[in-house]
C-alpha cells in the first residue's frame, strides 16, 4: 500500500504538480486526427492535465492547441468563427492565429500595436499515426516526435480509438499491467472475442490460475513477466511492457493484432484511455477492423456523438446478472475494455491505496509505483524521467514458451525490442 502523501503525489497531475511535470515532459496523445478533419473545421474542446484547451485548424490546415478562453473577457473560443487563418471571438471580435497570438482587436486602432501584447497559451499539435500529439512542457526541452511502433507502420496496419474513463489515470494504468485478472475477469471472452480467440496461450491462461510474476526494470519502465505452467514442465510467459509514465503494451495472442494503451489524465478524476491495435507485416483484415469499430477486443461502443462508452456508470454498465450466472461473462459486463473500466471506476475517482492488501501477483504494480516515485525524486535534481528517449519507445510485448531453466529477460531479449520487418513473438 501507499501512504496518503505518496498516493496524492502519483495521482495529481495539474499545473505545478510533480507528476503533472512528468507527463508534460513527453508527447501525449491529445486527439484523433479524425476529430480535426479539414481546414476551418469546427474547433474541439479538450481538457488535458487539468488545463482547458481548444484544438482547431486554420485556413491553411495548420493545427492549433490554444487556451480555450479569450484573453479579453474570458469567453470560450469554442463559439469562435474560424476564418482567414485565425479564430475570431464572437463577443467583441478579437482574433487569434494558430500560435495563440492575437492579430486583431477591432476596437483599438491598429497603429497602437495593442494586439501584439496579447498571446494565448498554446502548445504544439502534430499528427503522427492517425493521432494528434501535443507537448505541454518547457519549449526548450521539447523532445523529438514519438516513435511508438504502432504510429510508424503504414496506416492500414494500425487502428486507434479512445474512450473516456471516469477514474484517475493511475488505477486505470495499474489495471493495464495486471496480468493475473485475465484468468477471471476476461475468462468468458478469451475463447469468444474475435480479437482474442484461437490462441494456444488462452489454454495456458485458463489452465493455471496462479501465475508467478517476475518483474524486471527496463530502460523505460518495466518488463512485467507473468509465468504459467505449460506442457512438459515448460513455462508460458506473457511479458507486458510498461513505459513511463502511462504506456502499456499487452502480450500478443496467436496472429491477432497486438494492442496496448496510453492512460492520459484529463484531470485528477478522469482520464482518456487510448487503445491501439496493429500488425507489423500485413494490413489489418476487414473482419478485424469491423470488430474494433464494433467495440470488440480492447475497444468500446460509444454514446452517439461522444467518446463516452455506451456502457457507463449511469446505466450500471448494462450489467447482465443472468449472463454472469450462466458463465457467459464472468462479471456480467460485456466487453474486455468495459470489464476493466467498470471495476476500476467502482473504486471511486481516486482509490484510497492506504487500505490495500497487496499480494505477490501485484508485484508489477508495486514496482511501477516505486519506479515512478524514484523518478519524481530524480526530477527534483534535474534528471529527465524515463520514457522520453526514443530508444525507450522502440519496444514490444511478447508471449513465449520457455524451458524452466531459461528466464524471459535473456531468452526473449530480442522479442522485447522492435525488430524491423519481423512480427511479434506470440503463442
How do residues 86-95 score in pLDDT, each as one tens digit? 999 999 999 9
pLDDT value for 46 = 98
Q: How far apart are CA 12 and CA 169, in angstroms?
A: 9
Whether the predicted pLDDT of 108 surpasses 80: yes
Residues in the chain, overall count? 427
- In this prediction, residue 1 has a pLDDT band, given cuts at 50, 70 and 90, of confident
Q: Which helix (H) or strand (E) element contains residue 212?
A: strand 212-217
Listed residue (189, 157, 154) closest to 337, CA to CA: 189
Q: How far apart are CA 290 and CA 195, in angstroms?
A: 11
pLDDT value for 185 = 86
- In this prediction, residue 119 has a pLDDT band, given cuts at 50, 70 and 90, of very high
How do residues 155-190 score in pLDDT, each as one tens digit? 999 999 999 999 999 999 999 998 778 878 888 888
How do residues 19-56 score in pLDDT, each as one tens digit? 999 999 999 999 999 999 999 999 999 999 999 999 99
Lowest pLDDT segment from 43-47, 167-171, 305-309, 359-363: 359-363
- Please tell me the pTM assigned to this model: 0.96
pLDDT value for 409 = 95
Beta bridge partners of 32: 131
Q: How far apart are CA 227 and CA 402, in angstroms?
A: 10
Q: How far apart are CA 151 and CA 214, in angstroms?
A: 29
Task: Please check whether residue 224 is in contact with residue 242, taking contact to mean a CB–CB distance below 8 angstroms.
Answer: yes
Q: How far apart are CA 388 and CA 408, in angstroms?
A: 25
Q: How far apart are CA 417 and CA 397, in angstroms?
A: 8
Amino acid at each position: 500500500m501507499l501512504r496518503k502523501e505518496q498516493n496524492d503525489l502519483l495521482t495529481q497531475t495539474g499545473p505545478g504538480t510533480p507528476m503533472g511535470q512528468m507527463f508534460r515532459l513527453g508527447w501525449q496523445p491529445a486527439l484523433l486526427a479524425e476529430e480535426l478533419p479539414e481546414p476551418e473545421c469546427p474547433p474541439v474542446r479538450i481538457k488535458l492535465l487539468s488545463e482547458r484547451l481548444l484544438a482547431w485548424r486554420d485556413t491553411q490546415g495548420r493545427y492549433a492547441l490554444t487556451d480555450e478562453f479569450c484573453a479579453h473577457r474570458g469567453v470560450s473560443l469554442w463559439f469562435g468563427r474560424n476564418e482567414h487563418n485565425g479564430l475570431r471571438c464572437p463577443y467583441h471580435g478579437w482574433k487569434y492565429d494558430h500560435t495563440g497570438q492575437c492579430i486583431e482587436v477591432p476596437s483599438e486602432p491598429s497603429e497602437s500595436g495593442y494586439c501584439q501584447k496579447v498571446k494565448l497559451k498554446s502548445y504544439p499539435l502534430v499528427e503522427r499515426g492517425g493521432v494528434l500529439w501535443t507537448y505541454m512542457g518547457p519549449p526548450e526541452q521539447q523532445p523529438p516526435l514519438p516513435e511508438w511502433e504502432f504510429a510508424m507502420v503504414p496506416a492500414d496496419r494500425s487502428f486507434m480509438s479512445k474512450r473516456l474513463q471516469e477514474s484517475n489515470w493511475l488505477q486505470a494504468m495499474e489495471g493495464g499491467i495486471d496480468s493475473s485478472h485475465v484468468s477471471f475477469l476476461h475468462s468468458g471472452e478469451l475463447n469468444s472475442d474475435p480479437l482474442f480467440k484461437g490462441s494456444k496461450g488462452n489454454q495456458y491462461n485458463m489452465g493455471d490460475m496462479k501465475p508467478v510474476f517476475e518483474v524486471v526494470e527496463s530502460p523505460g519502465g518495466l518488463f512485467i513477466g507473468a509465468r504459467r505452467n505449460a506442457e512438459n514442465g515448460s513455462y508460458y510467459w506473457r511479458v507486458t511492457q510498461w513505459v513511463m509514465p502511462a504506456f502499456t503494451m499487452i502480450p500478443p495472442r496467436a496472429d491477432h493484432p497486438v494492442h496496448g494503451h496510453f492512460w492520459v489524465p484529463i484531470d485528477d478524476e478522469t482520464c482518456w484511455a487510448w487503445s491501439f491495435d496493429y500488425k507489423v507485416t500485413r494490413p489489418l483484415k476487414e473482419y478485424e477492423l469491423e470488430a474494433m469499430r464494433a467495440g470488440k477486443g480492447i475497444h468500446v461502443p460509444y454514446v452517439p456523438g461522444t467518446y463516452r462508452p455506451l456502457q457507463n456508470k449511469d446505466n450500471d454498465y448494462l450489467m447482465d446478472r443472468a449472463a454472469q450466472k450462466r458463465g457467459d461473462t464472468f462479471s456480467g459486463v460485456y466487453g474486455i475494455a468495459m470489464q476493466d473500466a467498470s471495476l476500476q471506476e467502482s473504486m471511486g475517482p481516486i482509490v484510497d491505496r492506504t487500505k490495500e492488501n497487496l499480494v505477490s501477483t501485484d508485484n508489477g504494480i508495486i514496482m511501477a509505483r516505486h519506479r515512478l516515485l524514484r523518478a519524481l525524486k530524480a526530477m527534483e535534481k534535474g534528471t529527465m524521467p524515463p520514457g522520453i528517449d526514443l530508444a525507450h519507445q522502440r519496444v514490444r510485448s511478447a508471449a513465449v514458451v520457455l524451458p524452466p531453466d531459461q528466464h524471459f529477460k535473456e531468452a526473449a531479449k530480442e522479442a522485447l525490442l522492435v525488430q524491423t520487418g519481423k512480427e511479434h513473438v506470440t503463442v
